[in-house]
Structure 1
Amino acid sequence: MTFTDLGIETDLVDALASHGILEPFPIQEQTIPLALTGQDIIGQAKTGTGKTFGFGLPLIQRLGTDPEPGVKALVVVPTRELCVQVTEDLELAAKNRPTKIVSIYGGKAYEGQIEQLKAGAQIVVGTPGRLLDLASQRLLSLANVEVMVLDEADKMLDLGFLSDIERLFSQTKPTRHTMLFSATMPGPIVALARRFMTRPIHIRATDPDEGLTQANIEHIVYRAHALDKDEVIGRILQSEGRGKTVIFTRTKRAAAKIVEELTDRGFSAGAVHGDMTQEARERSMAAFKAGKKDILIATDVAARGIDVNDVTHVINHTVPDDHDAYLHRVGRTGRAGKTGIAVTFVDWADMHKWALINKALEMNIPEPVETYSSSPHLYTDLNIPAGIKGRLKSTPIPKVERDAARPPRERTRRDGAGRTGERSGERTERGGERRERGASGSTPSTGSTAAAPAGEGGTTAPRRRRRRRSGGSGGAGGGQQSAAPAAD
């Protein structure tokens, strides 16, 4: 079966072929012929199996070879990363046509997006919040939308976008062609489909004998200690055949901490999480896709926008909240028919979460094996060379050696001649002045400092201080000796 056999026009087929995409996936085989006829579809398939082209190719083809300016198609996605990814895929397919595609999402300046809309973009890919924002300002009109797609529809429910989705639907005409796509399809999504779709066909492109998890992904689950995880990860990252790797964490703070730790260990890592600016997130994703960084640390929000075919390993630093989140995390590897490895760490306190995931996905791993960085089975399970430790040879130089390697002028500044040295000298002089004042108002037998009258030694009386005196010189002698340099 080829895309041509499915009814896709030659220029679109050629665009895909130029990127090595020659044969359709099962979800594409089942949805494309129906979508070309305008049939409403609920498409369900495992992540990484080509859902974007399943709705994208019919969408582009139905707009025609030279569509008129103005928004004719709307693709709604839950996250910024997925918005960028879907846009890139649609641009790839439509590169031989004048069709214009624009990404509309938050965290980025309005001006560029508005300019593209005014220039006549026919396909809009966007997140609900920014779409409604521009629509409320009358900068985006959905009145002429002929095709509307919800991608990763279940995630939009998780993020609380249901009311926003309903508002977007209400701004389009009832006769539109509607398609919903996702890896999982919970009840609320099906109910939404019945409200806004016309006799939709529910297509499940899965092998009934395959199970819920992808057959081309090897799942390895360890019960690990929190303080040993970084070392275990450092060793896994040196396993034979490892390519690009995605590490998932539960929190933004944990993601930032792991980036810092892996960088210190000599690895090339970047991150994508909510505390980063949109520009920084896009730079990090671009560096990962281009291979400039081969490790990406991400939170669940970014999971569905990571569409990179050569990810070989996914590591769950913490257990996902549920089985759907687990599927979307591990689905970053084993994409486009390739194989992958998914490693999950289960803390002792999270065993109940793992029990629910294991039961829901029928994984038959009720008791993860207790594993440490020195465990022999860690090396055999993940093909790690013997004797490997969790640091690369190119680990950054320790601080003491870094200081020794600095230019003499910089070392001098740090060791006492620059600002640090000046502050040190100022403290010495101030100490001498205090001792001088103490000597002039102290009783030799006790060495205590008398309170200075207001206006003579400052506005406040100096604190009482105990000093050990050497010999029998008393406080006066010591004060005079230290005062001499200050007087100079």
Structure 2
Amino acid sequence: MTTEHFDGPTFASLGVRSETVQALADVSISRPFAIQEYALPIALRGADLIGQAPTGTGKTLAFGVPILEHLRAPEDGASGLPQALIVLPTRELGLQVARDLAVAGKTRNVRVLAAYGGVAYEPQTEALARGVEIVVGTPGRLLDLAGSRQLRLGDVRTLVLDEADRMLDLGFLDDVERILAMLPADRQTMLFSATMPDPIAALARRFLRQPVTVRAHHETEAGASPLTKQVVYRTHPLNKVEVLARILQADGRGLTMIFTRTKRSADRLAGELDFRGFAAAAVHGDLGQGARERALRAFRSGKVDALVATDVAARGLDVFGVTHVVNYDCPEDAEAYVHRIGRTGRAGASGVAVTFVDWEDMPRWRLIEKTLDLELTGSSGEPPETYHTSSHLFADLDIPQEVNGTLPSTDRTRVGLAAERLEDVEGRRSGRRRSRGGGGKGGRCGKTGAPRPADQAPGAADAAPIPRTASGDGGAGENGQRRRRRRRKPARPESDKG
């Protein structure tokens, strides 16, 4: 059942309560997208559901509206225990889903908590103590909160597994099954996944009761979006940053996402752009959670207008106002290309997508172009060779002729990443040892050329390991270390141990 978004029924005509209809109307949403139109009648009657839909098709409201219809709000005498649980793979997606549900439930004062790792426990446990109706969270943090009995799941009547295939990719499936075992048997379960690999299909067979399957695809899966202007240039690796610097000075450019293939490339490029005067930041998997959230907040608020990202870090990221996407490194395949350019040209807005390819990228690019029927290279079959001085570059992308590779000081109006506060995500919890492995030293915070506070290691919000000493005092200093070495004289020196 594949379809596109069109003028069909309204949320009101589908039987959604007036308070929710009003909350959605306040943000100019009145008609459902395809996945919502097909899912709502099924989910509203309480049936289990499998929705095959990628990010960007509107699936949040496909499960969010039924949740809001079924739960008791504070004004209805809600107990304060969670009535709905949404399990998803990443913090960024969790924050986005929580925001959307809070907007849709605001007229009934529905309380939504986003629970995820990499930040302190206390704000989340305090919110649970005050009472919430909906919890949106990542598997590890949900298990931690449930294990400490801060999160009580006995009143959950609706469970959603969002981006289930992504949770499989990240190795969360065992954690998901542990969470499922904690929930009441009498519940509605909805599973959403872009694909249905065998382990996800097996999970659905085990935990869903006679589910109904609905499918909807992102409009860009059928080919190029008519709202996004797409161009491809063959560029020399040593000249790409010069070309990019001109693109970032195009007339009408707003927020821009720049995709690289590796984390190191993202760091290096963000630093180079920062040096040239652009408000740039990098986001990738090696950054500590505090640094990642800091970069995303700065990008959303416009303090930074050039976000350099890897594919994994940008998955599920939905930011309003992205006018340009630049594939600084050629995407790996058609799916990656569609995902990248889908960050612009959204919600009726126009966008620009630029792809750089080198000679070695041409076989990959030809396959992408053929798969998506793009025909961007014209009759020659080759992208135009492009340098920072090429006249067609300026003409194609509305770049003023007088610009060069450095942003003039008079145009440096954005405050940059340094103006965004780095939140304390130490997340230490008194008396609690780290329960999910890891600890110690973690990732690095990529440089962007701007001064910033020291960053956090990934997973630092999970309580830090307690230092152990021979005396058991938990904190011997330098002398304590020497005493231990003297007592362990027969053993190998400490520095030789793995």
- TM-score band by shorter chain is 0.7 to 0.9
Q: C-alpha separation between the residues in 1 aligned to 2:22 and 2:352?
A: 33
Query: Is contact 1:271–1:298 with CA below 8 Å preserved after alignment?
Result: yes
Query: Is contact 1:303–1:332 with CA below 8 Å preserved after alignment?
Result: no
CA displacement at 1:103 relative to structure 2: 1.1
Correspondent of 2:59 among 51, 61, 68: 51
- Taking only aligned residues, the RMSD between alpha carbons, in angstroms, comes to 2.8
Query: Is contact 1:104–1:127 with CA below 8 Å preserved after alignment?
Result: yes
Q: C-alpha separation between the residues in 2 aligned to 1:188 and 1:136?
A: 25
In structure 2, stretches of 5+ residues that fail to align are 1-8, 413-498
In structure 1, stretches of 5+ residues that fail to align are 398-488
Q: Which amino acid aligns with 1:23?
A: R
Aligned residue number for residue 385 of structure 2: 370
CA displacement at 1:183 relative to structure 2: 4.5
Aligned residue number for residue 386 of structure 1: 401
Q: C-alpha separation between the residues in 2 aligned to 1:215 and 1:168?
A: 42
Q: C-alpha separation between the residues in 1 aligned to 2:263 and 2:328?
A: 12
Residue 76 of structure 1 pairs with residue 91 of structure 2: no
Q: C-alpha separation between the residues in 1 aligned to 2:28 and 2:229?
A: 26
CA displacement at 1:63 relative to structure 2: 0.8
> Structure 1 residues 313 and 195, CA, compared in 2 at 3 Å: closer, same or farther?
farther
Q: C-alpha separation between the residues in 2 aligned to 1:283 and 1:175?
A: 40
Query: Is contact 2:85–2:159 with CA below 8 Å preserved after alignment?
Result: yes
Q: Which amino acid aligns with 2:48?
A: D
Q: How does 1:16-35 map to 2 (within 5 A)?
A: 16-35=24-43
> Structure 1 residues 306 and 155, CA, compared in 2 at 3 Å: closer, same or farther?
same
TM-score, normalization: structure 2? 0.72
Correspondent of 2:271 among 249, 260, 265: 260
Aligned residue number for residue 16 of structure 2: 8
Q: C-alpha separation between the residues in 2 aligned to 1:359 and 1:185?
A: 25
Aligned residue number for residue 471 of structure 2: none
> Structure 1 residues 202 and 267, CA, compared in 2 at 3 Å: closer, same or farther?
same
CA displacement at 1:126 relative to structure 2: 0.9
Per-residue CA deviation, residues 96-140 of structure 1 (Å, 9 max, x unaligned), is: 223221111111011111122222222111112222222333332
Q: How does 1:184-333 map to 2 (within 5 A)?
A: 184-186=195-197, 188-206=199-217, 211-212=222-223, 214-333=225-344
Query: Is contact 1:80–1:305 with CA below 8 Å preserved after alignment?
Result: no
> Structure 1 residues 223 and 161, CA, compared in 2 at 3 Å: closer, same or farther?
farther
Q: C-alpha separation between the residues in 2 aligned to 1:122 and 1:233?
A: 46
CA displacement at 1:227 relative to structure 2: 1.5
Q: C-alpha separation between the residues in 1 aligned to 2:319 and 2:147?
A: 35
TM-score, normalization: structure 1? 0.74
Q: How does 1:143-154 map to 2 (within 5 A)?
A: 143-154=154-165
Residue 172 of structure 1 pairs with residue 183 of structure 2: yes
Query: Is contact 1:49–1:335 with CA below 8 Å preserved after alignment?
Result: no
Query: Is contact 1:156–1:162 with CA below 8 Å preserved after alignment?
Result: yes
Aligned with 2:107: secondary structure? coil
> Structure 1 residues 302 and 238, CA, compared in 2 at 3 Å: closer, same or farther?
same
Q: C-alpha separation between the residues in 2 aligned to 1:389 and 1:174?
A: 64
Aligned with 2:106: secondary structure? coil
Aligned with 2:222: secondary structure? coil
Of structures 1 and 2, the one with the larger relative CO (CA 8 A, separation 6+) is 2
CA displacement at 1:359 relative to structure 2: 4.5
Residue 62 of structure 1 pairs with residue 70 of structure 2: yes
Residue 41 of structure 1 pairs with residue 49 of structure 2: yes
> Structure 1 residues 57 and 276, CA, compared in 2 at 3 Å: closer, same or farther?
same
Structure with greater helix share of residues = 1
Q: C-alpha separation between the residues in 2 aligned to 1:213 and 1:167?
A: 41
Q: Which amino acid aligns with 1:379?
A: F
> Structure 1 residues 381 and 394, CA, compared in 2 at 3 Å: closer, same or farther?
same
Deviates more, 1:115-124 or 1:101-110: 115-124
Bigger Rg, structure 1 or 2 = 1
